[in-house]
Amino acid sequence: MNSFPKSLTEAVAQAKEATKAAIADGYGRLQVELVLPEIPLQAQSLALEFAQFFEEEYGSGIKIMFPDTGAAMLAKRDWGESPFQVTDMGSRFTCVESQMSDTDQLFIVACPSSVEVERVEKLCDAAGDRPVILLIPQLEDVAVVGIGLAARQLRDRFISTLYTCYYIRPLAEASILRAHPAAWQIWLEQEDDYELATELASKPMGEELDRILLQLTTPETGEDSSAIKQRKKPGVLGSLQKFLKALSQ
């Protein structure tokens, strides 16, 4: 059974192992989601950590891709001599396929957003059987992608083919955790630790998530559920800050 990570270092280590296990089990389009404020600012360091983790198996066949040329150049400057190939995902002048080669064996894409979703889709299609790891992706930004027919087609055609091998997200008095091959889990805050409360077959979202959390956190006293929900609201920020403080240690 999974343990709940007590630091960001532990969460990243857990994510790397989950990704490796998912690839071994035949998954090729992978998402590693750390749903934490400001985590995109660490995309460069996370990409390097993942590349180093897979270096023994893939060596120089690892290609790290950034959304734009500036981010790729910055990584090259900061990393200096590196056994990994570093590039961008192309632009309106160059297609993403032109950034790929037959020697590439593993693609690591750092923090792709919904702006790059079409290029990510083309990358995954062109990669074939070669694994593509999307680190802290933000592909479903409704403000950019939209909620109409095109967005539904995108989700059906591409987003639905992505496999979340690792996911962690803090909530009010709880957190969602998924680390392949384990199921989706909800952990409840207990003093200075977290305790596994339930496991689910799919990602809990929206009203379903609200209902599950309410059931897990409501004491059996007969108190009106709406009153309990209202009473819990002020604790959301405090719980999030406590969680982030623990991960930053």
For the chain, give every domain's residue range.
1-249
pTM of the model: 0.86
CA distance 114 to 31: 14
Q: For the chain, which residues score pLDDT lower than 70?
A: 1, 140-148, 219-249
CA distance 173 to 126: 42
Over residues 15-66, the pLDDT tens digits come to 999 999 999 999 999 999 999 888 989 999 999 999 999 999 999 999 999 9
| Strand ordering across the sheet containing 132-135 | 85-88, 62-66, 106-110, 132-135, 29-34, 163-171, 174-179, 184-190, 193-200
For residue 72, give the 3-state DSSP assignment: helix
Q: Please give the class, per CATH, of domain 1-249.
A: alpha beta
2 exposed, middle or buried (CB, 10 Å; 0-12, 13-18, 19+)?
middle
